[in-house]
């Protein structure tokens, strides 16, 4: 039971990540490879503030969100200045820099050793250490996330996002301030990644820079490509499949030493298969 709850929590956290990346990449066409960086900033904010400065969970989350918003806003200038392939590469460059900040600013982040002993959330006197409670909490946040993005994307704002994704020139000629929309979307998406990060930090009780480098960014991207671009439900499905399928390998009796490698190969294989067989993803509305 505990094991299943554990998986359910991981799936739920990744659903938040995938939905927020889909908001950025799937709806608006900003193919960012820096989502795990913002996820990491949220995680580190909560880890550092709660273990070193005596903050409780909720304020640490809020500070993580604000900090992420500021950093994402600043990063949006170089990233959104370019388009398509160049944008992808610049977002990747940004995430390399931030990864190295996490790795080398040891006085703050403890570098590669990571931060241990992060306490479970406590909100209004309720402790969420037990897995059912914790699951209920992240599930509630994921549901709020879903309806938040649903509201935006099914409003006229969503039409403009898709217009920008399809053709920035046409969107601009139709009177939409492309950069302003892109920047807003990028920052809002990043803030939700930060929330997922805060939960991850308290869930694992331990974080290290490795959790927030390129591979997790890729994993989230593959989730939304598999689930389908511009589909929030698809993102949840993508997270579900990509967490559970590799997990099933455990039962094949593979030695732990090669398990991680095989899991990563599955991600790669899924990506290739989707691009060839179903480029619009399982529930997506357009081809990438």
Q: How many residues bind other proteins (CB under 8 A)?
A: 26
Spatial CA neighbour of 138 closest among 199, 191, 198? 199
Instruction: Please choose, from the candidates 2, 9, 43, the residue with its C-alpha nearest in 3D space to the C-alpha of residue 202.
Output: 43
**Cβ atoms within 10 Å of 73's Cβ, excluding its own:** 14
- Nearest approach in angstroms of CB 184 to other proteins is 7
Report, in Å, the least distance between residue 176 CB and other proteins.
6
Binding mask 88-127 vs other proteins (x if CB under 8 A, - otherwise)?
Answer: ----------------------------------------
Binding mask 149-188 for other proteins (x = CB under 8 A): --xx--xxx-xx-xx--xx-xxxxxxxxxx-----x---x
Instruction: Decide: is 195 part of the binding site for other proteins (CB under 8 A).
Output: no
The residues, ordered by sequence, that sit 6+ positions from 189 with a Cβ below 8 Å of its Cβ are 20, 21, 23, 24, 32, 35, 38
CB of 141 to other proteins, least distance (A): 18
Which residue stretch of 107-115, 130-138, 147-155, 195-203 sits at the interface with other proteins (rule: CB under 8 A)? 147-155
Residue 96's Cβ-count burial label (10 Å; 0-12, 13-18, 19+) is middle
- Please tell me whether residue 73 binds other proteins under the rule CB under 8 A: no
Instruction: Give the pair of three-digit tokens for residue 232.
Output: 């929030």
Nearer residue to other proteins within complex by CB, 75 or 178: 178
Tokens of 209: 């820079």
Specify the DSSP class assigned to residue 280. Answer: T
Q: Is 281 in the site for other proteins (CB under 8 A)?
A: no
If the CB atoms of residues 70 and 108 are measured against other proteins, the closer one turns out to be 70
CA 200 to chain centre: 11
Taking the least distance from each CB to other proteins, the nearer of 178 and 283 is 178
The rounded distance, in Å, linking the Cα atoms of 52 and 59 is 14
| Cα separation, 273 vs 163, whole angstroms | 28
Q: Which is nearer to other proteins, 35 or 162 (CB)?
A: 162
Q: Minimal distance in Å, beta carbon 193 to other proteins?
A: 17
- Give kind and range of the element (H or E) at residue 31: none
Chain positions contacting other proteins, by CB under 8 A: 151-152, 155-157, 159-160, 162-163, 166-167, 169-178, 184, 188, 285-287
């Amino acid at each position: 039971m505990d094991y299943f709850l554990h998986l359910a929590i991981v799936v739920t956290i990744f659903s938040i990540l995938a939905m927020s990346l889909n908001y950025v990449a799937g709806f608006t066409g900003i193919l960012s490879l820096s989502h795990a960086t913002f996820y990491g900033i949220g995680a580190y904010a909560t880890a550092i503030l709660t273990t070193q400065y005596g903050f409780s969970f909720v304020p640490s989350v809020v500070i993580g969100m604000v900090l992420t918003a500021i950093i994402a806003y600043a990063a949006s200038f170089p990233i959104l200045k370019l388009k398509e392939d160049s944008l992808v590469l610049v977002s990747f460059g940004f995430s390399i820099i931030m990864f190295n900040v996490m790795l080398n600013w040891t006085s703050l982040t403890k570098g590669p050793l990571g931060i241990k002993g992060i306490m479970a959330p406590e909100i209004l006197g309720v402790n969420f250490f037990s897995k059912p409670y914790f699951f209920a909490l992240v599930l509630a946040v994921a549901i709020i996330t879903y309806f938040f993005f649903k509201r935006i994307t099914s409003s006229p704002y969503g039409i403009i996002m898709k217009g920008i994704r399809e053709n920035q020139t046409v969107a601009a000629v139709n009177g939409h301030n492309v950069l302003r929309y892109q920047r807003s979307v990028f920052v809002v998406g990043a803030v939700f990644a930060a929330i997922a990060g805060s939960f991850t930090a308290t869930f694992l009780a331990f974080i290290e820079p490795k959790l927030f480098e390129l591979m997790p960014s890729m994993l989230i991207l593959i989730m939304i490509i598999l689930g389908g671009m511009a589909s929030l439900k698809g993102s949840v499905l993508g997270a579900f499949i990509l967490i559970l399928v590799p997990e099933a390998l455990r039962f094949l009796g593979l030695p732990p030493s090669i398990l991680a490698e095989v899991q990563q190969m599955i991600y790669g294989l899924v990506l290739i298969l989707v691009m060839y067989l179903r480029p619009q993803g399982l529930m997506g509305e357009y081809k990438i």
